[in-house]
Structure 1
Amino acid sequence: MTPEAFNSGEPVPVTAAGGTVTLVEGSTFCLSDTSGDIRPGTSHGLFFRDARLLSRWELRLDGQTPHPLSVQSPEAFAAQFVLRRNPKPGQADSTLLLVRERLVGDGLRETITLRNLGRENTVATLTLHVDADFSDLFAVKEGRPAHGGADATVAGSELLLRDRDDGSRGLSVSATADPLAAPGVLNWRVIVPARGEWSTEIVVQPTVGNRRVRPQFDRGEEVESSGPARKIRAWRDVSTAVTAEHAVLTQVLHRTESDLGALQIHDSAQDGRPFVAAGAPWFMTLFGRDSLLTAWMALPLDVGLALGTLETLAELQGRRVDPLTEKEPGRILHELRLGPDSDQVLGGSHYYGTVDATPLFVMLLAECWRWGADETGVRALLPAADAALTWLERYGDRDGDGFVEYRRATDRGLLNQGWKDSFDGINDAAGRLATTPIALCEVQGYAYAAWLARAELAEAFNDPATAGRCRERAETLRARFAETFWLPDKGWYAVALDGRKQPVDSLTSNSAHCLWSGIATDEHAAVLVERLSGSEMDSGFGLRTLSSAMGAYNPMSYHNGSVWPHDTAIAVAGLLRYAHLPGAVDLAQRLATGLLDAAASFGGRLPELFCGFSRTEFSPPIPYPTSCSPQAWASAAPLLLVRSFLGLEPHVPQRKLTVRPHLPAQWGRLSLTDLRLGGVTVHVEADRETAKVTGLPDGWQLDGAD
């Protein structure tokens, strides 16, 4: 995900003066300032299915903006904005408190309460200004001119706004306490008794296809009883509870659970099958790469999320060649869009321009099988996995050299199609941009792991011929990769081969992904650990995407020196895969400690990315201005850290569980309660390099724990 993905201009910063509050629930999210206002001319808004509904939602008390005191957001989908009436001239205090309680979920509900703390009755005028522009999400992100706007009418005390360009889209705003309604305005004039209070409840209901969408809440319903609250409770009921003595880690894990629950979208056409959206505010939709990696990281919480993501992507898998969408047989989707302008962006509403989602699909299928996913569901996805591997050979390997490369099909597509998909994301040590077709080092690692994954599934399902062919393909790729990508004079893997098959020789975090996939040899990995350990790569708050010694380094860039939490977590997982090598565990622990320190400075919620300045220069870390938060793989990254430091590797079909911990000392005791492995539920406790597992039935093999 990248600004380049939107093809026109830089995105508008999400953070306005005073900060931005983001609420999210499935395909609904709301951006406002810390007063709760959605201010026109900003990226604020209430968004639903990739379109902005509300573009203005400004509350005035006696004609003035109330004075904000605090914002509390116990869950990702709800917030309480606490404000007060501005003091009278010459006075420091105010006796009128204003509380805005907001809930989102296929609409918006806001309860406004005035509390008079004074000894006399007070007269107050509340005015809510409402407008909508129905702009496509892309247009809002890029700061492009607004959509056609809205026609506003009044029906009694209800405001009705309808899209001027598409009359089938609209919204209604209704409120209690008898407001005086005019086009674009609700107004209340009230007397609040001494030591008493007054309130009104306002509901925003979207209209799509001339039909009103039913919100996930009812009028007068407590937040705890609403649909979003029931959904998060159901998610927690089936999820593993992860707790730690380390206070920040516990805080981060709680936020992880809440955010991943809120980012889930349930496909109503498929019995509520879940998948995870990539992140708020700009990526509240299915993304192949992001959704797959997030599901992988979240396996310790819930295997069902991974299976749902795989099933959803399999249904959307390419079945023909279409240059406009970059669809090809077997290729896994890059992103799905539903907004009013979706046909004008990239290749349309279904865009396939990604090189790594396809091998990641096969990797995740085998991994969720190991974690106990239903075998029937896994078997049903084998044809999709085979089609994905065929894509790797036929379309991914464009020149038949054994490596997977990419080149966009038209000038509407993404120039770069790995995870660093900004236009300048792939460059050499001098800073020169690589020319396409480009074969990325981490993608070869994913392809290697995908071939091995399919081989393991074939062996388990009595298909030795397929298993043998896939293993041979994997070993050939690994040997060729070592010969071609390793730069012995530098001590790292080339980030890519360019269009002339020349190594692109910059030192990047991509090399660490080669540890995670296992394509790196021990000999190369030992040297790479040393290179990643230096201050050029380790910012003190996580691993930089690009070494500070490289020509294109810019700590404020999107992909050329910033720190991405998911990227650092994958690096940590890779280092711990090679824990037997000198320095690997120490570096993994150092990177994880830095990342959790960064999380503490962001209130326990890791953002999509942050600037890569050295910790000795700026502490806490500097935010990246258009970073998504919450963002799926950033939210899930702490789970990958926990799993990796535990050395937690289940293999349910073989009735085997491995736990080999290397926990950082400051974490203290770490517990996983109700860890579901197929039909088995276990409890894991670990401290430093010791672990205890209870609940494992007879007949299971336990390696590495007491």
Structure 2
Amino acid sequence: MTITQLDERKLDPAIALASLDETAPREPHRLYALKHGDCFAVADAYGDIRGAGDGFFRDDTRVLSEFRLTVGGRSLSLLGASLSQDNVLFTSNLTNLPIESAAGRQIPQGAIHIERVRLLWQERLYERITLSNYSREHSTVLVSLRFGVDFRDMFEVRGSTRSKRGTAHTAEIDQSSVVLRYEGLDKVVRTSAISFSQPPDQLTSERADFFIAVTKRSRQTLYVEVGSKTTARPQSERFRAAAARARFGMRAKRRHGATLHSSGRVFNDWMERARADVALLTTELATGPYPYAGIPWFSTAFGRDGVISALQMLWLNPGLARGVLAFLAQHQATETSPFSDSEPGKIMHETRKGEMAALSELPFGRYYGGVDTTPLYILLACAYADRTGDTAFIDGLWPSLCAAAEWIETASRSTGFLTYQRAAESGLANQGWKDSFDSVFHADGRIPKGPIALVEVQGYVFAAFRGLAKLARLRGEEERAENWELRADAIRQQVERHFWIEELGYYALAIDGDGQPCKVRTSNAGHLLYVGLPNPDRARMVADQLLSASFHSGWGLRTLADDAIFFNPMSYHNGSIWPHDTAICAAGLARYGIRDSVVRLMSGTFESAVHFNMRLPELFCGFTRSAGEAPIAYPVACLPQAWSAGSAFMLMQACLGLQIDGWTNEIHVTRPHLPIGIDNLVIRHLSVGHVAVDLTFQRVGDRVGAFLADAHEGLVPLVVKS
């Protein structure tokens, strides 16, 4: 498979992964992920890593590709597995199958309890394995850990093949550790050191065997660490210290921003899990916090994903948006490169740190092939300014925002629309959020020729220019403000004239290089509602169709209407359900006052989360909901995914009709609704200007009221509209 083919098959990671191992895919909702910084680990409920799409990764390289525990030469029986509420500790509870002791005595199933507890801290994996003997006999059992390290680049794990790789060095084995090294073609030596708290009875480059004596009603513990080098021998004190630091660090991240608490216990569990997932994926960079996109495939800084996640969290935690904006401004393109799809002023789509990126075997070391990222960046900056009134930060960002606007103006000059067409064959063929090779098509199934103008992208451009005009006027730059206002008005008229398809009563997905509309009904049109581009009559027509059975499955909104030629509820982009997409469409409905339907979408999304153990995946299948059945998982969706977790908060804001005006330091609430089954909701520590307040929403009969806590009355104005 070529690099180009691989990247276009980002459209469907299931296909790429199946090419590696036909026993894959592994269901994401049955896998467990840990993350810290630029490291993450994915394993199954047993705590085992089998080397399909799972593993322990550091800087886009898999530094542990196999890690399997057996007792008595047999695999174990699963009792249960879980993540701690703060996402720091993974715990698997296991028991033995019928085995023989080292002396040949039969040990019945269920005599020994095995607990595996794992965490990540500072590029190191820590594991505690505890064996507890509940039988009435003393036993010495063989405990084996099989391990392997393939040092494969993330893109190799995803399915790319390489004609040449670097050199794997002979393992260095001492009394209680194994060190494995690989020198890449980029001349970087990558190391994985596996250390044990006690010397194994037998240790090779791929296996450690321990004969552990477990007396009756007693327990024995083994500690294991995997890092880039050997350190002090693993032990209880090191494990506890790492766990304490990891939990403290996670608490610090979760303290940022306001919190939600409702009258619904299960609903609160969802909100807590979503908040914990956003915190887990947020990495502290030199420029501030940045939400990495998702584990395992996209655990890095993505422009589009970071912006949308920040928009979802903006009302609760504007500091996240500030960190995203600062990072993207720092990495804004300053030169033209067809290989990386960069042009001066353009905002980054993706960055990678692996060997293949370093060698330019693929363009994703720093890649700019996202047509929507630049207008979304401006949109976020304007929304951040409206939320906070932080003129000092916007002043520092202003040259970057102007450069981004100039790129949009230049790129739109020939057609009047912001279009894309990859500059090199190694780049993405489609460069909107639906970047599968077949996600943009004509009604008869033809793949359109470029350059392509996506409907939602024109909406983002409209919002970007409108927001910039407001900021420019506040800065006293009247000429720029008038220019951008004219451009916003022009793009609105152009979209209404060229994208609206009268016979569909809907907006076209795109306009191709021949100026022909792709007359396909997709969820993309819902993003136009989010930015407020359509007139009210057309907005209502779009809303009615989005809420019809063609799109609304009962669990959420499908990306494609079910009568389209490429509709497939099991596809990556052509009929599946993406929670972030549903949330954006819901926010659009709320903008046009269709708040009852927002409550329905919130309910379906919450019920989906319940079936997925309170954690919404990147996407799931778009089958119609049936009584008594659960939503169908997509085989290799990222889990957790930042904008899926953030969708809970965008939906909640849409229900509440809540906006914070950072220029006047006022809270505005318009026709508030509460989710089904929730009678009371409290938002604690909501920042407005330099103060933080507690805001309560209370159901009273058929109405929902909003009021500030007694102690906070008078601190900020609360404007409520029925």
Kept in 2: contact 1:405–1:440 (CA 8 A) = yes
Q: Distance in 2 between matches of 1:699 and 1:10?
A: 55
Q: Contact 2:112–2:131 at 8 Å: present in 1 too? A: yes
Post-superposition Cα deviations, 1:669-694, rounded to whole Å, max 9, x if no partner, equal 12211112231101111135321124
Offset of 1:549 from its aligned partner?
1.0
2:327 counterpart of 1:306: no
1:410: Cα distance to partner? 1.1
Aligned equivalents of 1:531, 1:367: Cα separation in 2: 28
1:495 aligns with 2:506: no
CA contact (8 A) 1:130 1:185 kept: yes
Partner of 1:385: 401
Equivalent residue, structure 2, for 1:101: 117
Q: What is aligned with 1:220?
A: 239
Name which of structure 1's ranges 244-253 and 645-654 shifts more when overlaid on structure 2. Answer: 244-253
CA contact (8 A) 1:18 1:34 kept: no
Aligned in 2, Cα 1:434/1:248: closer, same or farther, shift over 3 Å? farther
Supply the AA of the counterpart residue of 1:115: S
Tell me the residue number matched to 1:158: 177
- After superposition, the C-alpha distances for 1:12-45 in whole angstroms (9 at most, x for unaligned) are 45516994222223321112222111124x2221
Shift in Å, 1:73: 0.7
Question: Quick check: 1:2–1:421 contact (8 Å CA) kept in 2?
Answer: no
Change (3 A) 1:58 1:164: farther
Once the two structures are TM-superposed, the CA of residue 5 in structure 1 deviates from its matched residue by: 4.1
Judge conservation of contact 1:16–1:33 (CA < 8 Å) in 2. no
More displaced, 640-649 or 171-180? 171-180
Measured against aligned partners, the alpha-carbon deviations of 1:635-686 in whole angstroms (never above 9, x if no partner) come to 1100101111111111122222211212234232122111122311011111
* 1:142-182: CA deviation from partner (whole Å, max 9, x where unpaired): 27479655631213311101015456111111111333433
In the alignment, what sits opposite 1:168? 189
Say whether the 8 Å CA contact 1:5–1:414 is kept in structure 2. Answer: no
Say if 1:462 and 1:16 are closer, same or farther in 2 by CA, change over 3 A.
Answer: closer
Alpha carbons of structure 1 residues 696 and 318: separation in structure 2 relative to 1, 3 Å: farther
Please tell me whether residue 231 in structure 1 is matched to residue 237 in structure 2. Answer: no
| 2:54 paired with 1:39 | no
Residue in 2 aligned with 1:684?
695
| Structure 1 counterpart of 2:622, one-letter code | G
Taking the aligned partners of 1:195 and 1:513, their CA distance within structure 2 comes to 61
1:507 is paired with a residue whose SS is: coil
The Cα of 1:91 is off from its aligned counterpart by 8.2
Structure 1, 295-304 or 624-633: larger mean CA deviation:
295-304
Give matches, 1:429-440, under 5 Å: 429-440=443-454
Q: Which residue of 2 aligns with 1:202?
A: 224
Q: What secondary structure is seen at the aligned counterpart in 2 of 1:72?
A: strand
**Which of 502, 506, 515 is residue 520 of structure 2 equivalent to?**
506
Alpha-carbon distance change, 523 to 435 in structure 1, aligned in 2, over 3 angstroms: same
Matches for 1:564-583 after TM superposition, within 5 Å: 564-579=578-593
Cross-structure match for 1:11: 17
Structure 1 residue runs of 5 or longer lacking an equivalent are none
Q: Is the 8 A contact 2:175 2:200 kept in 1?
A: no
Aligned length, in residue pairs: 691
**Which of 531, 534, 545 is the matching residue for 1:517?**
531
Which residue among 122, 135, 160 is the counterpart of 1:118?
135
Instruction: Please say if 1:177 is aligned against 2:198.
Output: yes
1:65 equivalent in structure 2: 75
CA contact (8 A) 1:652 1:677 kept: yes
Q: Distance in 2 between matches of 1:454 and 1:470?
A: 7
CA spacing shift, 1:460–1:657, aligned 2, 3 Å: farther
Is the 8 Å Cα contact of residues 688 and 716 (structure 2) preserved in structure 1? no
Tell me which of 269, 272, 276 is aligned to 1:251: 269
Could you list the per-position Cα deviations for residues 517-558 of structure 1 after superposition, in whole angstroms to 9, with x for gaps in the alignment? 111111211211222121011111100100001111111111
> 1:190 is matched with which residue: 206, 209, 212?
212
CA distance in 1, matches of 2:45, 2:256: 34
Query: Where do residues 67-86 of structure 1 align in structure 2 (5 Å cutoff)?
Result: 67-74=77-84, 75-86=86-97
Q: How does 1:606-685 map to 2 (within 5 A)?
A: 606-616=616-626, 619-660=629-670, 661-685=672-696
- Decide whether aligned partners of structure 1 residues 356 and 51 sit closer, same or farther in structure 2, where only a CA change above 3 A counts: same
Partner of 1:594: 604
Secondary structure in 1 matching 2:609: helix
TM-score when scaled to structure 1? Answer: 0.93
Give the whole-Å Cα distance in 1 for the aligned partners of 2:443 and 2:362: 30
Conserved 8 A contact 1:692-1:705: no
Name the CA shift for 1:331/1:116 in 2 (closer, same or farther; >3 Å): same
Quick check: 1:361 aligned with 2:377? yes
> Structure 1 CA distance, aligned partners of 2:619 and 2:214?
46
- Are 2:148 and 1:137 aligned? no
Question: Are the equivalent residues in 2 in contact too, given 1:135–1:147 (CA < 8 A)?
Answer: no
Identify which of 575, 589, 605 aligns with 1:561.
575
What letter matches 1:196 in structure 2? Answer: S
Distance 1:2 1:546 in 2: 22
Give identity over the alignment, percent. Answer: 33
Per the alignment, residue 103 of structure 2 pairs with: none
Structure 2 unaligned blocks of 5 or more: 1-5, 19-23, 101-105
Question: Do the aligned residues in 1 keep the contact of 2:310 with 2:324 (CA within 8 Å)?
Answer: yes
1:223: how far off? 6.0
Length-normalised TM-score, structure 2? 0.91
Cα drift, residue 76 of structure 1? 2.7
| Residues in 2 aligned to 1:7 and 1:606: alpha-carbon distance in whole angstroms | 18
| 1:572 shift after superposition | 0.4
Contact 2:282 2:291 in 1 (8 A): yes
Task: Say whether residues 1:334 and 2:349 are aligned partners.
Answer: yes
Q: Does 1:549 align with 2:571?
A: no
Amino acid of the residue matched to residue 406 of structure 1?
Y
In the TM superposition, residue 92 of structure 1 has moved relative to its aligned partner by: 6.3
Write out aligned runs for 1:318-329 (5 A).
Answer: 318-329=333-344
CA RMSD of aligned residues (A): 2.6
Query: Secondary structure of the equivalent of 2:158?
Result: helix
Distance (Å, rounded) in 2 between the aligned partners of 1:649 and 1:352: 32
Deviation at 1:593, TM superposition (A): 1.4
Q: Structure 1 residue 222: deviation in Å? A: 5.1
Distance in 1 between residues matched to 2:180 and 2:237, nearest whole Å: 21
Structure 1 distance, partners of 2:223, 2:177, is 12
Whole-Å separation in 2 of the counterparts to 1:125 and 1:306: 52
Q: Secondary structure at the match of 1:381?
A: helix
Counterpart AA for 1:104? L
Amino acid at match of 2:532: G
**C-alpha distance in structure 2 between counterparts of 1:147 and 1:248, whole Å:** 49
Q: Deviations over 1:498-522 (max 9, x none)?
A: 1111111111000100000111111
Listed one character per residue, the Cα deviations across residues 26-84 of structure 1 (whole Å, up to 9, x for unaligned) are 321112222111124x2221111111000111112121112221102113342011111
Conservation of the 8 A alpha-carbon contact between 1:563 and 1:611: yes
1:50 and 1:6 mapped to 2: Cα distance?
A: 19
Aligned to 1:23: 34
